Structure formats: C-alpha cells, structure tokens
A = this chain, B = another copy of it.
Amino acid sequence: MSNRSYVQLKARLLDEASVAALAETFKVLGDTTRVRILDALARAEVPVCDLAQLLGLSQSAVSHQLRLLRSMRLVKSRRDGRHIYYVADDHHIVGLFEQGLEHVQERRS
C-alpha cells in the first residue's frame, strides 16, 4: 500500500463518535433476546407480562432488556392501568432488520 493511499484512506475514515454510536446501535441488536423482543414490538403493542409469556422469558429478564431498549429509544412505553404497553419506536429499526435478513438469507445460498 502506497504512503499516499494510506494517508488519504486515514483521512476518510469514520470519526470516533460515529464509530462509537454505530457499534453501540449494532450491539443492542446483537442479542437473540433483544431481537425477539424488537421483532414482536415492531408488530404489536404488548404489555410486559404478555411479552414475557410470548417469548418464554422471565418477567425480570424482559424488564431489564426493555430498560436498555428504551434508554436507546428503540421502544417506547405507555401505561394503561397496571399494565405498561411497549412498542417499537423507530422506523429505522425495521429497515435494519430487513436489510439484516437480506444479508442472512444471501449467506444461505
């Protein structure tokens, strides 16, 4: 690799903040439990207890993950009586999911 290309490449790399934000976003999606939660919440608004039962997880585990997802604004919540309904809060997420699926499906062939 020539010294000139090396310098030019270095100048074009993503800045530190973008790298960190990008990795953080992908990291949240990089867990099967959170993928399943987001998949469900992208399709319907569901209270925590139903979500736990639907996915066969403990209420506590779901609640912990929802806190993380909410802190990253990937889901939002709304209280109705003693239930708290969660739903996906980001149209980009659906796009990322679909593009991720495309990638995964291409791998199969």
Contacts and interface: CB of A to CB of B under 8 A. Distances in A.
Contacts of A26: 26-27, 29-30, 35, 100
A54 B36 CA distance: 37
**Interface size band for A:** 35 or more
A9 interface: yes
A25 B103 contact: yes
A12 interface: yes
A100 B22 contact: yes
Given A22-B35, A31-B27, A35-B19, A46 B1 contact: yes
Nearest to A12: B43
Given A14-B39, A20-B32, A31-B23, A9 B54 contact: yes
Oligomer: number of copies: 2
Nearest to A34: B23
Interface string A67-109: 0000001000000000000000010110111011111101100
A10 interface: yes
A52 interface: no
Contact of A73 (B32, B36, B107): B107
